[in-house]
Structure 1
């Protein structure tokens, strides 16, 4: 077994959720940083988005197994991608918003 055998699982379990969270975190955090005039909020939104992506994709996978217990291969492949993407989208947005809330509370507690 060489390292190239681990590449597909590494990409799907590590790189895709992190990139998804980075894109959502930078986008939402950038607009929030413009509104709040604080650059540090981008870090909180990125971290919140990445955590939210993992939680959302897990919830999407659980929902897929509950709603579609025995799909055939082609139908199941399309549905699992749909459920994981919806879960990652909702998770990244809500995770970024939670990151903004945590940042605001942290900033208020310091002043």
Structure 2
């Protein structure tokens, strides 16, 4: 027998996801610092992922143990990214302007 849960319908969640996506697109064009844009986009993405996990994956109605199992990889992935950022920023990156090209040989 299927259990029923009192909660918003799938269409309600769809419209919330749609609105958050429109906000994300709008944030990209805002005349603010890129760091602020990145923080806003990450926050919106986390909120959208939470909506999907809670309602479409039914984690809202599960026990705490299952929620912890689902959150643990998110925590470990975030930790891994922050641990690797110093390695990425320590390596000098070449850009198109910094690469020197030999002059083309003239006709012989």
TM over 0.5: no
Which structure has the larger Rg?
Answer: 2
Larger relative contact order (C-alpha < 8 A, sep ≥ 6)? 1
